[in-house]
């Protein structure tokens, strides 16, 4: 009897622990009364390496959205002999695969495919030895955005594509006077981006007939 009682208590505790996750998944699939039109984001992986970044995504209709992003770390230290300077801007057109017209699933939530383009400038230097250049990139993205609260989603995505552009490798003194320079061009194809982003959804309450 004692074992049976312990087993029942274990099953009850397990069901209570699992219920919030099942409920969250159900809400993620069904959505709620929120109809988001704009999403604001930051990539946590960039933040962890001290790379400020910002994204804004606009809902364009039943399946489309446009995501615009920028990253802008700009650090110089150690008498100008070390620097981490990057400016990047880009956009991504996304196709969301959910059936938003026939289910309660809210927009900007679920699986998506994207076509992106980006470009930027960088100057990376350590103790007078560095690499400076411009670049552009284009490719495809795939990801998933899941509801974690009424106005919040968690987005996971990865991209693959091409990166190209001219660069200069150099050695310089603290006054930026070049001591030695080498010029080249980047040609790279492969994984280009990984994203773990917190998403703040801004929108209005749906009417009953749209739920």
Spatial contact of 92 and 157, defined as CB atoms under 8 Å apart: no
CA dist., res. 40 & res. 202, Å (int): 8
- Which residues pair with residue 162 across a beta bridge? 138, 189
Mean pLDDT, rounded, for 161-165: 98
Tell me the pLDDT band of 128, cut-offs 50, 70 and 90: confident
pLDDT at 210: 43
Write out the H or E segment, with its range, that includes residue 8: helix 2-30
SS3 154: strand
Return the residue matching tokens 């998933």. Answer: 144
pLDDT at 119: 98
Name the percent of the chain lying above pLDDT 70.
78
pLDDT at 14: 46
pLDDT tens digits for range 67-109: 999 999 999 888 878 899 999 999 999 999 876 655 567 889 9
Q: Is the pLDDT of residue 207 over 80?
A: no
Write out the H or E segment, with its range, that includes residue 83: strand 82-96
| CA 134 vs CA 70, 129, 146: distances in Å | 15, 17, 35
Tell me the pLDDT band of 211, cut-offs 50, 70 and 90: very low
Return the residue matching tokens 């001219």. Answer: 166
Spatial contact of 147 and 106, defined as CB atoms under 8 Å apart: yes
CA dist., res. 105 & res. 99, Å (int): 7
Q: Which pTM was predicted?
A: 0.76
pLDDT at 32: 62
CA dist., res. 197 & res. 158, Å (int): 11
């Amino acid at each position: 009897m004692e074992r049976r009682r312990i087993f029942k208590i274990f099953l009850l505790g397990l069901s209570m622990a699992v219920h919030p996750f099942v409920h969250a998944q159900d809400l993620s699939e069904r959505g709620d009364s929120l109809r988001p039109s704009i999403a604001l984001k930051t990539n946590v992986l960039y933040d962890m390496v001290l790379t400020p970044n910002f994204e804004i995504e606009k809902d364009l209709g039943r399946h489309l959205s446009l995501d615009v992003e920028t990253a802008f770390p700009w650090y110089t230290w150690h008498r100008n002999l070390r620097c981490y300077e990057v400016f990047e801007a880009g956009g991504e057109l996304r196709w969301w695969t959910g059936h938003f017209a026939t289910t309660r699933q809210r927009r900007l939530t679920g699986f998506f495919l994207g076509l992106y383009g980006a470009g930027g400038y960088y100057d990376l230097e350590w103790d007078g030895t560095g690499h400076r250049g411009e670049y552009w990139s284009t490719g495809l993205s795939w990801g998933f955005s899941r509801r974690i609260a009424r106005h919040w989603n968690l987005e996971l995505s990865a991209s693959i594509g091409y990166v190209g552009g001219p660069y200069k490798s150099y050695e310089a003194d603290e006054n930026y006077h070049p001591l030695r320079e080498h010029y080249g061009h980047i040609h790279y194809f492969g994984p280009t981006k990984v994203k773990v982003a917190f998403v703040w959804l801004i929108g209005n309450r749906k009417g009953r007939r749209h739920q």
